[in-house]
Amino acid sequence: MNFPVWDPPMIGGGILIGIVAILHVFVSHFAVGGGLFLVLTERRAYAEDDRELLSYVRKHSLFFVLVTLVFGAVSGVGIWWTIGLVHPTATSTLIHVFVWAWAVEWVFFLVEIAAALFYYYGWERLDRRTHLIIGWIYASAAWLSLLVINGILTFMLTPGRWLVTRSFWDAYFNPTMLPSLVTRTAVAIALAGLYALLTAAVVEPKTLRPRVTRYAALWVLAGCAVLPLSGAWYISQIPPMAREISMGGAPAVTIFAGLSVVLSVLIVVVTYFGPYRRPQEASVLTVATIAVLGLAATGVTEWVREAVRKPYVIYGYMYSNALRLEQVADVRRTGLLAQAKWVTLRDPSDPDWRRVGYEIFRTECRSCHTIDGYNGMRLMVKGWREEFVDYQLQHLNELKGFMPPFVGSDAERRVLARWLANLGREEPFSEGLSIADSAASPRQEEAR
Amino acid sequence: MIPTLPSPDPVGVPAPIGLLTALLVALLPLHLIPMNVALGGGFVAAWASWRARRAAELERHRYRSLLASFTTALLVSTAATITFGIAPLLFLQVLYGPLYYTSSVLMAWFWLAVIALLMAGYYSYYAFAFHRRDASQRAVLALSGGLLLLIVGFLFTNNMTLMLHPERWREMYVASAHGLHLNTADATLGPRFLHFLTASFAVTGLFVALLAGRRTDDAGVWMRRLGARLFAGATHAQILIGLLFLYSLERPVRDLFLGSSVRDTVVLWTAVALALLATLIVRRRPTVAAALTVATIFGMSYVRHRVREALVAPVFSLDSLKVVPQYGPMAVFAVVLIAGIATLVWMSVRFVRAGPSKA
C-alpha cells in the first residue's frame, strides 16, 4: 500500500526469494561449519604430522574460498536485494528494528572475509601457529555472524514481547532465537561434512580418500544427531497456528514438513551405510547423491519455515501483503483505494471496474498471487460465480487460515469479486495481464 | 493530489540522524576506493595481458610484473568493494528507505541483475587469477570482469539518481509495474556515471604507482611512470567531466557549490584543488598523492550527500523522520567495531611481517 508493488508476469516474489535464499542458506551454513572443519582438520594434520591430510586441507580451502567468498557473500547480498524488491515494507521494518544488529553483523562479516583471505593466502607465508589462529578467527567470526542474523530471522516468526514493548532486546532475544541457533549450528556442522565429502571424493593421492571420507561423514552424522532434539525444541516454541499449519492444517506445508524429516533421515542412512561404514567404496555418485539430498532438505525446510509464518510476514505485526495490523481498522473505514499510494483510480464505482479490480488485486494480493503463474488466481477461481467469490473474500481468514482477511470497503470487495469471477471465465493470459500492461488513459488520470 | 512518496517507517530511526548521516558519508569512500581498483583494474589487467602476448622480452617482463600484482589485487579489491558497500547501503535504507525502495522496485529486474552480474564478474576475476597460461584468454577474462562491473556501476548510477526524483515515479509505474524502467532520461545520468568511471581509472593508476613503491628495477620504474600518467590523465579529464556533471544539475542545487552555500562551495573546490595537486606530485611522491586523493574522495562523498539532500529537499527531509534511539545496541556496535578493527589490524600486521610467500 505504501510502496509500489513489483508485478513481473507469472513469477511470484516468493519464488524469487526462495531460489536465492535456499542457495544462499546451503552455502552460508557451509561457510560457518566449514571454517571449523578447516581449522580442526589442519590442527589434526599438524598433531599427527600428516602431510597428506594437510595437503587435502589446503586444496579444500581453495574450494572453500571459491564457494563461500564469492557465491556465499554475493548471494547473501542477493537476499537483501530480493526481499527489498518483493517486500519493501517488511524489509524496512527489519532494517529499522535491527539496524545496529545488521551493523554488528557487518563487522563480523568484514572480519570473516578478511580472515578467509589471510587464511588462504597465508598457507606458505605464515607460521603454523598464526595460521591456525587466523583459522579460528575465521570460524568464530562466521559463527558470530550467524548468531546475529539468526535472531533477526526468528524475530519474523516469533517477535515475542517486542509486539508490546518495541524494545530491541525483546526483538532479538525472541522465543525461537536459541533453538534456531542450535539447529542452524548443527546444520552448519553437517553441511561442512557434506561439502568435505565432495572434495574428499576427488582428492589425490587416492589412498587418502577413505580416511578423509570417513572423517567427513562423521561431521555429517554429528551435525544430524543434534537435529531431532533442537528441532523439537524449536517447534515447541513456535506459535500454535504455525504448528498446526505444518501438521495437517495446510496439506502442502504438511507434505513438505514431512519431506524435510524424510530427507534428513535419508541423509543419515546413506551417509552411515555409505561413506562412514564403507569409505573405500564411496564414489563420486554416492556423495553427489548426499549433496543433492542435502540441498533438497535445506530447500524444503526453509520453505516450511517461510510457509508456517502465514498469514504474516512479521507475526502479529504485519500481514504477508505488507498491511500492518494496526492499519486494518482505519483502512476498513476509509477504503483501500483512498490510502493506497500507487493506484490510479480511487473510486470503487468507477466504470472501469476491470482496472479498479486489478489495482485492488495488485495492492492487496499480488505479494503472494499472480494471475496466470505462481499461485495463479485464474485457475483458483475457475467456474466460481461472483457471489461465491465475494463470500470467499468476506471470510478469507476463516476459510483459509494461512490468508489474511480482505481489508477494504464493501464496494471495493465487490469490485474485486467481480474482477476475479470474470478472470475465471476468460482464457489464460487475457484481460488481467492486458490491464496490467495498459497505461491508465489520460481521462482516468484527470478524474483522480 | 495525494503524494506518491511512501511514508517513512513507523518504527522510527534507531539513532540520531546526524550520526547515521555521518556514518553514511564517512563509510562510502571505503567502498568507492576498492570499487575504483576493481573496476579500472580489470581493464588495465586486460590491456597488460593483451600487450604481453607479442611484446619484446624487456617489455613483456614489465607487463608480467604489473600483472603479477594485479591477480591478487582484483580479487581482494572486489571482496572489499562488496564488504564495504554493505554498511553505506544499510544506512541509506534507514535514512532514505521511502526513496530507495521505490526506485529499486521501478527498476526491479535491472536491480536484481546487479547480483548476477556481480557474481559473474567476480568469478571472471578468479578465473583470470588462476588461469596462468594463455595471455589472450587472460585478457578476455579480465576484460569481461571489468565490463560486467561496468554494467553494475551503470545500474547503480541509475538507481541512485532515480531515487532522487519522486516526481518521475508515478508516470513510470502507471506505464508498467514490471520493473523494467531505467533513469536514462536523466540529464545527470551520463556525466555522473562517467564521473565514477573516470575516477576508477585515476585511482587504479594511483594504485599501480603505489604498487611499484620504491622499486628501482626497470619494471618498477615503468609501473610508477605508467600509474602516474594514468592517474594524472584521468584526473585532468575528470575536471572537465566534473564540470559537465555540475552544470547538468538543476540550478538551485548547482548554485550551492558556486557560492550560495559557503561550506559546500569550499568543500567541493578544496577537493578539486587537492586532486590537482596530487597529479603534480604523483610521480615523485605517490604516497602523498594517495593521501591527497583519499581526502578528495571523502570531500566528494560529502558533496554527493549534499546534492542528494538538495534534490529531494522539496519533498523529503531527514529532519522530518521520527527518531527512537537504541543506545544499548549502538554501544554494542561501537565495542564490536573496535574489536573488529583490532582483529583486522592484528591479522594484517602478522601477514605483512611474515614477508612474501616462501613458495
**Mean pLDDT of the region A56-68:** 93
d(CA A128, CA A111): 20
d(CA B344, CA B341): 5
With helix as H, strand as E and coil as C, how does chain B read? CCCCCCCCCCCCECCCHHHHHHHHHHHHHHHHHHHHHHHHHHHHHHHHHHHHCCCCHHHHHHHHHHHHHHHHHHHHHHHHHHHHHHHHHHHHHHHHHHHHHHHHHHCHHHHHHHHHHHHHHHHHHHHHHHCCCCHHHHHHHHHHHHHHHHHHHHHHHHHHHHCCCHHHHHHHHHHCCCCCCCCCCCCCHHHHHHHHHHHHHHHHHHHHHHHHCCCCCHHHHHHHHHHHHHHHHHHHHHHHHHHHHHHHCCHHHHHHHHHHCHHHHHHHHHHHHHHHHHHHHCCCCHHHHHHHHHHHHHHHHHHHHHHHHHHHCCCCCHHHCCECCCHHHHHHHHHHHHHHHHHHHHHHHHHHHCCCCCC
With beta carbons under 8 A apart, name residues in chain B contacting A166: 11, 324
d(CA A35, CA A109): 13
Residue with cell 615523485: B284
Of residues B1, B112, B119, nearest to A71 (C-beta): B119
Pairwise CB contact (< 8 Å): A103 & B178: no
d(CA B218, CA B212): 10
Residue A44's pLDDT band (cuts 50, 70, 90) = very high
Of residues B86, B179, B348, nearest to A77 (C-beta): B86
Q: Which amino acid is at B268?
A: L
Among A18-22, A99-103, A315-319, B195-199, where is mean pLDDT lowest?
A18-22
With beta carbons under 8 A apart, name residues in chain B contacting A121: 72, 351, 357
What pLDDT, on a 0 to 100 scale, did the predictor assign at position A320? 95
User: B323 forms bridges with which residues in the sheet?
Assistant: B13
CB B118 within 8 A of CB B85: no
Name the residue in chain A with its Cα closest to that of B7: A2
With beta carbons under 8 A apart, name residues in chain B contacting A71: 119
d(CA A187, CA A305): 15
d(CA A81, CA A88): 10
Q: Smallest Cα–Cα separation from B62: which of B300, B263, B226?
A: B226
Pairwise CB contact (< 8 Å): A81 & B115: yes
Pairwise CB contact (< 8 Å): B101 & A91: yes
d(CA B198, CA B201): 5
CB A388 within 8 A of CB A417: no
Chain B segment 53-82 residues within 8 A of A by beta carbon are 72, 75-76, 79, 82
Calculate the dihedral angle through the C-alpha atoms of A259, A265, A269, A272, rounding to the nearest 10 degrees. 130
d(CA B60, CA A341): 62
Chain B segment 305-334 residues within 8 A of A by beta carbon are 324, 326, 328-330, 332-333
A78–B contact, CB cutoff 8 A: yes
Among A130-144, A311-325, A365-379, where is mean pLDDT lowest?
A365-379
What pLDDT, on a 0 to 100 scale, did the predictor assign at position A440? 43
Chain A segment 271-310 residues within 8 A of B by beta carbon are none
Q: How far is CA A188 from CA A37, A302, B315, in A?
A: 10, 14, 47
Which of B101, B118, B172 would best serve as a mutation to test chain A binding (most A beta carbons within 10 A)?
B101
Pairwise CB contact (< 8 Å): A118 & B351: yes
Residue B57 neighbours by CB under 8 Å, 6+ apart: none
A228–B contact, CB cutoff 8 A: no
Report the gap between the CA of B227 and the closest CA in chain A (Å): 26
pLDDT digits (tens, 9 = 90+) for B3-53: 589 999 999 999 999 999 999 999 999 999 999 999 999 999 999 999 998
pLDDT digits (tens, 9 = 90+) for A370-396: 999 989 999 999 999 999 999 999 999
Chain A segment 361-400 residues within 8 A of B by beta carbon are 362
Residue A430's pLDDT band (cuts 50, 70, 90) = low
Residue A15's pLDDT band (cuts 50, 70, 90) = confident
Pairwise CB contact (< 8 Å): A104 & B332: yes
Q: Which amino acid is at A393?
A: L
Residue A81 neighbours by CB under 8 Å, 6+ apart: B104, B111, B112, B114, B115
With beta carbons under 8 A apart, name residues in chain A contacting B330: 100
Residue with cell 539430498: A293
Say if residue A311 is preceded by a cis peptide, omega within 30 of 0: yes
Q: Give the cell for residue A319.
A: 500481514
Please count the other Cβ atoms lying within 10 Å of the Cβ belonging to residue B341: 13
B258–A contact, CB cutoff 8 A: no
Name the residue in chain B with its Cα closest to that of A437: B176
What pLDDT, on a 0 to 100 scale, did the predictor assign at position A246? 86
A130–B contact, CB cutoff 8 A: yes
Q: Give the cell for residue B237.
A: 579529464
d(CA B329, CA A107): 14
Q: Give the percent of chain A with pLDDT over 70.
A: 96
CB A437 within 8 A of CB A380: no
User: Nearest 5°: phi and psi at B325?
Assistant: -65, 140
pLDDT digits (tens, 9 = 90+) for A316-366: 999 999 999 999 999 999 999 999 999 999 999 999 999 999 999 999 999
B187–A contact, CB cutoff 8 A: no
Name the residue in chain A with its Cα closest to that of B336: A104
Kindly tell me if the per-residue pLDDT of A186 is higher than 80: yes
B97–A contact, CB cutoff 8 A: yes
Kindly tell me if the per-residue pLDDT of A236 is higher than 70: yes
Residue A435's pLDDT band (cuts 50, 70, 90) = low
Q: How far is CA B241 from CA B178, B192, B247, in A?
A: 34, 8, 10
Q: Give the cell for residue A27.
A: 552455502
Residue B350 neighbours by CB under 8 Å, 6+ apart: A118, A126, A130, A134
With beta carbons under 8 A apart, name residues in chain A contacting B357: 121, 124-125
What pLDDT, on a 0 to 100 scale, did the predictor assign at position A248? 82
Residue B302 neighbours by CB under 8 Å, 6+ apart: B25, B267
User: Nearest 5°: phi and psi at B348?
Assistant: -65, -45
CB A199 within 8 A of CB A59: yes
Q: How far is CA B32 from CA B38, B277, B305, in A?
A: 10, 21, 14
What pLDDT, on a 0 to 100 scale, did the predictor assign at position B286? 95
Sort A269 into a burial class: Cβ within 10 Å, 0-12 / 13-18 / 19+: exposed
Please count the other Cβ atoms lying within 10 Å of the Cβ belonging to residue A218: 15
Q: Helix B166-175 crosses helix B57-106 at what angle (to 10 degrees)?
A: 80
Interface predicted TM-score (ipTM) of this complex, two decimals: 0.96
What pLDDT, on a 0 to 100 scale, did the predictor assign at position B69? 86
Q: Which residues of chain B have pLDDT under 70?
A: 1-3, 357-359
With beta carbons under 8 A apart, name residues in chain A contacting B326: 100, 168
Please count the other Cβ atoms lying within 10 Å of the Cβ belonging to residue B62: 21
What pLDDT, on a 0 to 100 scale, did the predictor assign at position A439? 44
Q: Count Cβ–Cβ pairs < 8 Å, chain A vs chain B.
A: 204
CB A119 within 8 A of CB A131: yes
Name the residue in chain A with its Cα closest to that of B329: A100
Q: Which amino acid is at A117?
A: L
Widest CA span in chain A:
83
Of residues B83, B119, B348, nearest to A110 (C-beta): B83
Say if residue A205 is preceded by a cis peptide, omega within 30 of 0: yes
Residue with cell 513489483: A6
Report the gap between the CA of A9 and the closest CA in chain B (Å): 7
Pairwise CB contact (< 8 Å): A122 & B354: yes
Residue A412's pLDDT band (cuts 50, 70, 90) = very high
Q: Smallest Cα–Cα separation from B213: which of B94, B351, B104, B69?
A: B69
What one-character DSSP code corresponds to residue A348?
A: T
B193–A contact, CB cutoff 8 A: no
d(CA A248, CA A245): 6
With beta carbons under 8 A apart, name residues in chain B contacting A76: none
Report the gap between the CA of B221 and the closest CA in chain A (Å): 27
Please count the other Cβ atoms lying within 10 Å of the Cβ belonging to residue B342: 11
Pairwise CB contact (< 8 Å): B336 & A107: yes
What pLDDT, on a 0 to 100 scale, did the predictor assign at position B295? 98
Report the gap between the CA of A6 and the closest CA in chain B (Å): 6
d(CA A363, CA A323): 10
Kindly tell me if the per-residue pLDDT of A237 is higher than 80: yes
Q: How far is residue A431 CA from its own chain's centroid?
A: 33
Q: What is the mean pLDDT of chain A?
A: 92
B216–A contact, CB cutoff 8 A: no
Q: Smallest Cα–Cα separation from B329: which of A355, A152, A424, A211?
A: A152
